[in-house]
Structure 1
Amino acid sequence: MMNKASLYGTGALLFLALTGCAQQSKSDAAAQLNDQSVMALNWFQQSGEYQALTYQAFTTATYAFDKAQSLTGKPKAVIVDLDETMIDNSAYSAWQVKANKPFEDKSWSRWTHAEQANAVPGAVSFAQYVDSHGGIMFYVSNRDQKDYAATLANLQRLGFPNVNAKTLRLSTTTSNKQARFDAIKNEGYNVVLYVGDNLNDFGAATYHKSNAERRNFVNSNHSLFGTQFIVLPNPLYGDWESGLAPGYNKLTPEQKLKVRADALKAWDGK
């Protein structure tokens, strides 16, 4: 008969084995979440189609800016997002895959302070066009205020014009940009165009909403896209992902994998 000490020892080993299996399962699920972004990253970093879409977006933006009505005494203003709209952070996303790391504020801040983001194709030329044709561009981003100096330096190094304390507005208390948009208008600017990679870059209407509600917003406002709203392609991340399910960002990796799989609309093969 097994003595008490042996029984406890066996129980401890079994507990450690089960705990290890659970941790391994969690690690595997987290790695799988990262691995699912590899094809999107390949497309984002390597395809000519991605570049074609960004040039197309900024060509459309230029045309929309020129066509927008001027208001007496109010300079034309363009509000743009930064990340994956004007600057490319895909190297950070690729690091996440290779290092098997989730998004974290600490590592994101390290990336920001490295000042290695590149310009999205066409972005600098569009910013320079607005600046040289009597407009003013406001860079409204949800980067943290602690990363302001590094963000400013990165943008200036890339050649974006007129980037300063007035035009660069980062997050302070909320990721909802509506208050910052309203402040720019209240300062006397005629905001004629919004450019972003996330529907939230166009106002509060889609903030923290489901994908069904976000699609309804697009359908109801379809005439504004290409005239007042310009969308840049970003398959890497965004509120479209959290819009897959209520409380998505609080789910475990295993639960997120299930939500992603369940959201697929698949042919039955027949």
Structure 2
Amino acid sequence: MLWKSQLLWTLLFINTLAFGLESREYSQQDLNSEAIIAANWIQHAPEYRALLYQGFNIASDQLAQKLARLSKKKKPAIIIDIDETLLKGTPCFSSMIDTNNKLTVERSLLWWNDYKSQEVLPGAVDFVNFAAYQGVEIFYISGRYIDVMPSTIKALERHGFPYADKAHILLQPPKDRTLSKEGKRNLIKNKGFEVIMLLGDQLDDLTEPPSKLYRQRQSWVDKHFSRFGLHWIIFPNPFYGGWESSISEGYSHLPPAEKHQLRMEVLGLSRDKAPDPLFRQHMIQAAIWQNFSGSYRALNYQAFNQAGRQLETLVKNTEGNPAIVVDIDGTVLNVTDELALLNIQNNKSNRDKKLLNTDNALINGAKTFLAKARQLDVEIFYLTNRPATSSKSHSKNDIYQATLANLKKHKLPYADREHLIFTEQNSSNTQKSCNKEQKRADIEQGRINGRKYQIAMLIGDHLDDFDLTEKGLNPEVPETADKVRSLFGRRYIVLPSVLSMPEIRAYHRKAANNRNLDSLTPEELARIRTKLLHDWPGKPGTGN
């Protein structure tokens, strides 16, 4: 009987380890750790910077048209959120990770008053000043409390934002827990302004959605999809927001253990399906945002709506045969439904299960845009880094076949062998495989089907999907996005993908000094992620 008892305890230990916990109640510190991947992406992924530039470029492109259609009887105004739209607020939250602290009114006030710690987000100052120069009055509506009005003015002035005064900054009364901004928007309209555009990182920054629950919010976004990228400009924020509490009624009042359980249930995760338990724990917040927030869905619609408008212009200026090159994973096909298989290390078995799936849903907005491209007589090439063949024996090109079946199932245009290109396919007799740079050259030089094309647009969720290496730029470096900022939302269309493994591996490698990630333990990888977090020197308890 002793061996049975020992076996039982061994199994219990393994089960606890797989769940990423010790034998104790799930703590606030455990819950805070679920936001690590989301924080890493915002603070280190070049794709996040690219999405910010894209949002402000879309807003700039729309501004002239909005002003041309403006009623002469009304004054133009733009309403803009502050935190995570203009100013970086993530250090306030990431500094709580690895602690039992949670966001409180006192902590928020301390952060908002520490205006010198609030960095400006890429593209923000240029756009707001551009709009003001065009005669547009700027109003800032924020969930910040009215108590921090002086510090908020200083924070905006410090970075050169116009209209940084009490008349144009509308904050929340201290006891107002509803966080509704609709009343403040109506105040501006009632003063005779025509609000031509609203910008923010939450749906509530743009309008008043009819429900707080995610299913209704997603349906609402689907119904109003055409407004994103026109009247409403949304920015990514997988770190925090009202979308988190949308998974259940009364969610915000639950203790950490119950919040965690709800998150696991809604994601369909269980204790026995984690190649790396720590990675799974760290990616939960990002997974909730990418799978259930209306904001993520809205960002996809915004990107494809803009792509459709831009393509009309680009085609007119394209000589020869116009083409677009489109990535697949996270751009056309949603591959995050296999969350239990996600692993930063190259586990071929888990990779194969994900890529052999022929039931992936489409990214919202993709099919409508691709159909429009075909109507414009633009050829579409689907270019992917997927391996053509799985690790199974006697299964040559099975992933290629599954991918093609997936595209055909959704009746996407040009879903055929000529237009589905894997980088493993040879570019010449001397090469076993190629990269995306070489494949783009093959398309342009006629080595795919004998016809030469001019690539009018590139669409993807990773900077490697764009012709940056051809320009001598490194797609894994955040500063690269700054150098081609004017192209995002124009020739380059970026889709949000917080759980993209190429992105995650890129900033892990950099932090690990380019060590082989596959040789590191889950604990070592977890320490790398924690090390990447931006701290807040003035956080409570530091004595500052």
After superposition, the C-alpha distances for 1:168-203 in whole angstroms (9 at most, x for unaligned) are 000123411111001100101010111011111112
- Structure 2 residue 201 is matched with structure 1 residue 205: no
- Deviation at residue 122 of structure 1 after TM alignment: 0.6
TM-score (norm 1): 0.87
After superposition, the C-alpha distances for 1:33-70 in whole angstroms (9 at most, x for unaligned) are 11111111111011100000000000001112221121
1:38 corresponds in structure 2 to: 36
Contact 2:39/2:94 (8 A) holds in 1: yes
Structure number with greater Rg is 2
Q: 1-side partners of 2:148 and 2:24: how far apart?
A: 35
**Kindly, what percent of the aligned residue pairs are identical?**
30
- Deviation at residue 98 of structure 1 after TM alignment: 4.1
Q: 2-side partners of 1:25 and 1:179: how far apart?
A: 45
1:105 corresponds in structure 2 to: 105
1:150 corresponds in structure 2 to: 151
Contact 2:60/2:127 (8 A) holds in 1: yes
Amino acid at match of 1:149: P
RMSD: 1.6
1:176 to 180, 183, 196: 180
Deviation beyond 6 Å, 4+ runs, structure 1: none
Equivalence map 1:1-270=2 (5 Å): 25-26=24-25, 28-68=26-66, 69-115=69-115, 116-172=117-173, 173=176, 174-206=178-210, 209-265=212-268, 266-267=337-338
Q: 2-side partners of 1:44 and 1:163: how far apart?
A: 26
- Deviation at residue 101 of structure 1 after TM alignment: 1.2
Amino acid at match of 2:217: R
Q: 2-side partners of 1:25 and 1:72: how far apart?
A: 65
Q: 2-side partners of 1:232 and 1:82: how far apart?
A: 11
Amino acid at match of 2:266: A
TM-score (norm 2): 0.44
- Deviation at residue 71 of structure 1 after TM alignment: 1.3
Contact 2:149/2:166 (8 A) holds in 1: no
Q: 2-side partners of 1:98 and 1:130: how far apart?
A: 41
| 1:255/1:59 CA distance change after superposition, 3 Å | same
Amino acid at match of 2:72: T
1:8 corresponds in structure 2 to: none
Q: 2-side partners of 1:209 and 1:137: how far apart?
A: 28
Q: 2-side partners of 1:67 and 1:251: how far apart?
A: 47
- Deviation at residue 142 of structure 1 after TM alignment: 0.8
Amino acid at match of 1:242: S
After superposition, the C-alpha distances for 1:2-29 in whole angstroms (9 at most, x for unaligned) are xxxxxxxxxxxxxxxxxxxxxx945x42
2:439 corresponds in structure 1 to: none
Contact 1:140/1:170 (8 A) holds in 2: yes
Tell me which moved more, 232-241 or 100-109: 100-109
| 1:25/1:158 CA distance change after superposition, 3 Å | farther
